[in-house]
Amino acid sequence: MKVKNTQQAPFTSYQKLAVFLLAITQFTVILDFMVMSPMGDILMKSLSLKPTHFGLVVSAYAFSAGISGLLTAGFADKFDRKKLLLFFYIGFILGTILCGIVNSYPLLVAARIVTGLFGGVIGSISMAIVADLFTLQQRGRVMGFIQMGFGASQILGIPIGLYIANAWGWHAPFLWVAVMAGIIAIIIAVRLKPINEHLAVQQEKSAFKHLTHTIAKKDYRVGFTATALLSIGGFMMMPFGSAFAINNLHITENQLPMIFMIAGLATLIVMPLIGKLSDKIDKYKIFVIGSLWTIVMVTVYTNLGVTPFGIVAVLNVLMMMGIMGRMVPSTALVTAIPDMQDRGAFMSINSSLQQIAGGIAAAFAGTIVTQHDKLSPLQHYDTLGVIIVCISVLSMLLMYRVDKLGKKKAKEKIEETPLTIQEI
């Protein structure tokens, strides 16, 4: 049976609204997580933390997010996705407020755990909504726009967050994120329509059975493993990015926000382009190109010594283009694997394993990277680069299987109509 080609299928006005709301939601969640990296040097010096301790601060969020995803996976397809999104988003806001009022290392770890319990599930709910509202041939473009939240957080969020932290202390950026997220939560409550058509096709009444049924599927486990591997690389480099730039490359604290802003601007421009290319050419081919580019740039970047600001800015942009260039097509490919009735559980488990793998990677990276004192260069950062290269090669092999599974499913049935198309 021939699958209908809808590569150029336009978005309806409601789909555009949904993309905007999901993208802006991801912006705040990503910003809350990403701001930990540029503030890494500030936190390590303010709280007298060693790299191992800071790695655990990052891991605390990741581990709690992973556990939360597994606990909620069985229920993820039992409720209206809009209500589920609002519940966890409000919890995320409360956790972020806690991060903005604590004053010690143990309390900061506890606050990051609370934030992760809620924030870590939001991405999986968003991906389930994307799979419900958009055809597979539209999802590359959708992922490109949603991933723009990453670029926007770097262009606006991270630099402003750093300036706020430098002016009023490291607590202030978290409170700023919480205020923004509160406004967005109100908009979602008012404008997003209920997303509950999946409730009509549920087969298991037991949440536990739904969870085990989803994990038991071999095809699903391929997608889980591929996503987890991709997460490991990012989590290994990210926590120590600012400390490496300041202590090894000799970028100043005043220059650091500009580095993130330049990289974010490039990401904001490139993400929609990669999304369009993924839909127009081939998602797996774009993923391979992004992975190979990442391998080259990570190898170069992690072996740098003292480097002029301009060169660091350019290399950082090129490296981020590779890293983000593989995330858009890989996420779109993975959404093709689950059946409609399993999407919520699949995305929750997928996000959980992604977070847990990232948490392990961040903690492991903290044991590899060392620093003699607060002002000395980081040691063994290049070792992380070698590990990331090896993981990238494995990721290409696994994502090839994901691509084949998605194409096989597309051939077996006509491309399903978006669930809410009748309401739009």
Q: Is residue 35 very low, low, confident or very high in pLDDT (cuts 50, 70, 90)? A: confident
Task: Enumerate the domain spans of the chain.
Answer: 15-192+205-412
Query: By the 8 A CB rule, do 349 and 70 touch?
Result: yes
For the chain, the average pLDDT equals 82
Q: What is the pLDDT of residues 116-150, one digit of tens each?
A: 999 988 888 888 888 788 887 777 788 778 877 76
Segment of 38-47, 127-136, 294-303, 334-343 carrying the highest mean pLDDT: 294-303
What pLDDT shows up at residue 93? 96
What pLDDT shows up at residue 154? 62
Place of tokens 């993208």: 23
CATH topology classification for 15-192+205-412? Growth Hormone; Chain: A; (1.20.1250)
The mean pLDDT of 312-332, rounded to a whole number, is: 86
What pLDDT shows up at residue 92? 95
What pLDDT shows up at residue 141? 81
pLDDT exceeds 80 at position 179: yes
The mean pLDDT of 39-64, rounded to a whole number, is: 77
Q: What is the pLDDT of residues 7-16, one digit of tens each?
A: 456 788 888 8
Q: Is residue 94 very low, low, confident or very high in pLDDT (cuts 50, 70, 90)? A: very high
The mean pLDDT of 172-176, rounded to a whole number, is: 89
pLDDT exceeds 80 at position 189: yes
Residue predicted with more confidence, 170 or 202: 170
High-pLDDT (> 90) share of the chain, %: 22
pLDDT exceeds 80 at position 25: yes
The mean pLDDT of 150-178, rounded to a whole number, is: 79
High-pLDDT (> 70) share of the chain, %: 90
Q: Is residue 151 very low, low, confident or very high in pLDDT (cuts 50, 70, 90)? A: low
pLDDT exceeds 50 at position 3: no
What pLDDT shows up at residue 155? 67
Tell me the pTM: 0.69
pLDDT exceeds 70 at position 419: no
Lowest mean pLDDT across 144-158, 312-326, 385-399: 144-158
pLDDT exceeds 80 at position 293: yes
Residue predicted with more confidence, 217 or 161: 217
The mean pLDDT of 66-74, rounded to a whole number, is: 81
